[in-house]
């Protein structure tokens, strides 16, 4: 990355840029996924630097000029910052000059956790629609938890998700929308996507209805942090633990004990169909099917035979209020039988 690009990127992030230069740097950002990832990280760095608690720590203009001199960047008209932004700009320049590319794509996972100002829990058997402070629309599925970070809409747009959530993100290029899960970080500027990250399930799933997102996590055998990009109709599926599956379809690749699949979905809306009472099983094993039914109908399901746990099934059920109707269909189309006692359902093999 040239010095001119560095300066233009900083000018763009700090709203200190001429229209012609703005068009050029936006074209540079859109030209490459790595450029876009770099921009998103730097924008977050800038937002965090602006949100400092002690205003008396802001550098004076003279001290900032000294910093530029030490960094080897000559003062130019394009990098004159307002005094109230000097501290944050200094932080941003420091990140740029000290190997930002290496930092971004080889950094270890962060151990620190942001402070969350609000937590929303959806009871089992329910779902909930929210409108966040930035006008982003969120749907939460049964048994899900969404935590909203301190400073949301001011210094960041970060939330933490456990469970399943559907997001219609309000566009704001200066505040990147970030969804953190236990293992992955999803970043977006303005788009529509669904994230399924229940701890009880043996899979993580991300589906993009509109726009584009990046998913950051440990996808290599060396446990290095990297990114996967998903565009419209793209689906990322991570099934784990899955052993001895080196021979998978061409769109799959084995990472550690997981199988990671990136596919193009024909019916992308099915991945968020739960919010419209559509229950979809897409080659799900019976363990995950049981979890979905438990969350939707607030019941307990016991799988009596181990062999059934890995039996896979595909099908969809639209707005069926009674679980017994679904169980009857499963009984007719799969090698299973079931019995009910109160809210407990036992599934076993047909005899």
Identical topology for domains 116-269 and 277-349: no
Residue found by looking up tokens 């169980």 in the block: 327
What ranges do the domains of the chain cover?
Answer: 3-106, 116-269, 277-349
Low-confidence winner among 43-47, 151-155, 202-206, 225-229 (lowest mean pLDDT): 43-47
pTM of structure: 0.67
Query: What CATH number does the domain located at 116-269 have?
Result: 2.60.120.1440
Encode pLDDT of 270-289 as tens digits: 999 999 999 999 888 899 99
Encode pLDDT of 158-208 as tens digits: 999 999 999 999 999 888 999 999 889 999 878 999 999 998 888 899 999
Please say whether the dihedral angle defined by the alpha carbons of residues 266, 268, 273 and 279, taken in this order, is positive or negative.
positive
Comparing 230 with 244, the larger pLDDT belongs to: 230
Provide the β-strand partners of residue 264.
234
Residue from 165, 173, 130, 133 nearest 149 by CA? 133
| Residues 186, 230: Cα–Cα separation, whole Å | 10
| Residues 213, 262: Cα–Cα separation, whole Å | 13
| 11 sits in which H/E element | helix 3-13
Q: How confident is the model at residue 58 (pLDDT cuts 50, 70, 90)?
A: very low
Which CATH code of 3.40.640.10, 1.10.10.10, 3.55.50.30, 1.10.150.120 fits the domain covering 277-349? 3.55.50.30
């Amino acid at each position: 990355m040239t010095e001119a690009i560095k300066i233009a990127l900083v000018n763009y992030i700090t709203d200190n840029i001429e229209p012609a230069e703005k068009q050029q740097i936006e074209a540079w950002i859109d030209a490459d996924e790595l450029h876009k990832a770099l921009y998103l990280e730097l924008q977050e760095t800038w937002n965090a630097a602006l949100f400092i608690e002690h205003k008396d720590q802001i550098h004076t203009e003279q001290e900032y000029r000294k910093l530029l001199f030490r960094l080897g960047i000559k003062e130019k008209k394009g990098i004159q910052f307002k005094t109230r932004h000097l501290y944050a700009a200094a932080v941003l320049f420091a990140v740029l000059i000290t190997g930002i590319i290496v930092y971004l794509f080889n950094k270890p996972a962060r151990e620190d956790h942001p402070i969350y100002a609000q937590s929303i829990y959806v009871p089992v058997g329910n779902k909930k629609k929210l409108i966040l402070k930035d006008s982003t629309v969120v749907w939460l599925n049964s048994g899900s938890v969404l935590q909203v970070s301190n400073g949301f809409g001011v210094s960041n747009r970060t939330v933490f998700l456990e469970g399943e959530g559907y997001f219609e993100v309000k566009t704001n290029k200066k505040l990147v929308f970030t969804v953190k899960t236990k293992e992955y970080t999803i970043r977006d500027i303005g788009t529509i996507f669904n994230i399924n990250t229940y701890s009880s399930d043996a899979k993580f799933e991300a589906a993009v209805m509109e726009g584009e997102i990046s998913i950051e996590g440990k996808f290599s055998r060396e446990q290095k942090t990297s990114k996967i990009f998903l565009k419209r109709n793209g689906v990322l599926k991570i099934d784990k633990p899955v052993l001895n599956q080196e021979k998978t379809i061409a769109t799959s690749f084995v990472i550690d004990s997981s199988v990671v699949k990136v596919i193009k979905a024909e019916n992308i809306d099915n991945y968020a169909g739960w919010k419209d009472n559509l229950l979809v099983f897409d080659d799900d094993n019976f363990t995950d099917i049981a979890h979905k039914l438990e969350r939707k109908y607030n019941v307990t399901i016991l799988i009596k035979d181990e062999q059934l746990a890995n039996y896979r099934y595909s099908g969809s059920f639209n707005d069926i209020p009674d679980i017994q109707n679904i169980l009857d269909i499963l009984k007719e189309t799969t090698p299973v039988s079931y019995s009910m006692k109160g809210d407990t359902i036992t599934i076993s093999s047909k005899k």
